[in-house]
Amino acid sequence: MSAPVLVTGGAGFIGSNLADRLAAEGRRVVVYDALTRAGVERNLAWLQSRHGRLIEHIHADIRDQARLGAAVRQAQAVFHMAAQVAVTTSMVEPVEDLGVNLIATVGLLEALRAKADGTPLIFASTNKVYGDLADLDFRREGDAYLPVDPSVRAHGIGESRPLDFHTPYGCSKGGADQYVLDYARSFGVPTCVLRMSCIYGQRQMGTEDQGWVAHFLIRALKGQQVTLFGDGCQVRDILDVSDAVDAYLAAWKRIGAVSGRGFNLGGGPRNAVSLRQLLDFVGEILGRPVDVAFSDWRAGDQRYFVADTRAADAALGLGRKLDWRDGVTRLAQWLAAENGISLPVRGAALARSA
């Protein structure tokens, strides 16, 4: 029997979708997850119910070097998704953030270096490594900030953009990003980094701090108020999780060609949408406006981030991404079912057509 694939944070949103795809291909998957985030135990139960013995759960902290090292030694590949994921939490507990995001990642890299058999690591990084993009000029047009530079407007932010870590979260994830790339350069560990924009989709337990697309939908479905920090004209390129999983699996498949490289992963300009525009669309799904309030801007918030996906698309052989309207409609349908809420006739029709 072939060795399992290790997915750290495998009960989380992206991790569970990745584990599901791997197991659907008949692969054994080790889900390494401490189950500290509310709701992820449901994702684990879902995986186990679908795939039975193909899913092995290790209930351990990513900072437990002994348990992590043992899991690495049996793995044929590692997808490192485990992280402290909220900028707000990092501002309150920066030492905790450092330990989970950076020190634990170096420990994982050391376990792979000691194994010394070419086991690859694919790392989930973030667009926050580029900072707040304060040197770029943006112009508000309607309900969205857009770049003045025509090249950035056409293609988004590319990998040639200088790194500029802001907030403890940006520093910890950015530091881990660079360690992962350097272990390929310095020690020959096959690694690839995917710097993600906003990923959304089924199995996302959205909160105000992280997973904003699902959070907006959950609040709106329940008739609750949604708070926008800043003016709500911030633009993001949102990417359905199925497309993100395609990219992670392609990075593993092509690790020989892409080792030591970092790629921006997002929906690209075709899937760029402001927070206000997304809420307007949610209102269309629900057949009523969403109740919105506003609060102060949050630290490190980018007025605009759209990934230039051309390098990733070419190197990883990625296809056309799901249109954000179709993906958000599908997520609304799933969340409504999960929460026992009936979509109105229009929303249900949109979901069926998506």
305 has a pLDDT exceeding 60: yes
| C-beta separation of 171 from 285 below 8 A | no
Active site residues: 169
> pLDDT value at position 158?
97
- Domain positions in the chain: 83-353
How would residue 259 be classed by pLDDT, with cut points 50, 70 and 90?
very high
What distance in Å separates the CA atoms of residue 137 and residue 130, rounded to the nearest whole number? 15
Q: What is the mean pLDDT of residues 32-47?
A: 94
Span 139-196, pLDDT tens digits:
999 999 999 999 999 999 999 999 999 999 999 999 999 999 999 999 999 999 999 9
Strands (E), 1-142: 5-8, 29-32, 55-58, 77-80, 121-126, 138-141
| C-beta separation of 300 from 258 below 8 A | no
pTM for this model (two decimals): 0.94
Q: Which CATH number fits domain 83-353: 3.40.50.720, 2.60.120.280, 2.40.30.170, 3.80.30.20?
A: 3.40.50.720
Span 229-257, pLDDT tens digits:
999 999 999 999 999 999 999 999 999 99
> pLDDT value at position 345?
54
Selection from 14, 79, 82, 25 nearest residue 51 by Cα: 25
In terms of Cβ atoms closer than 10 Å to its own Cβ (0-12, 13-18, 19+), residue 8 is buried
Percent of the chain with pLDDT over 70: 97
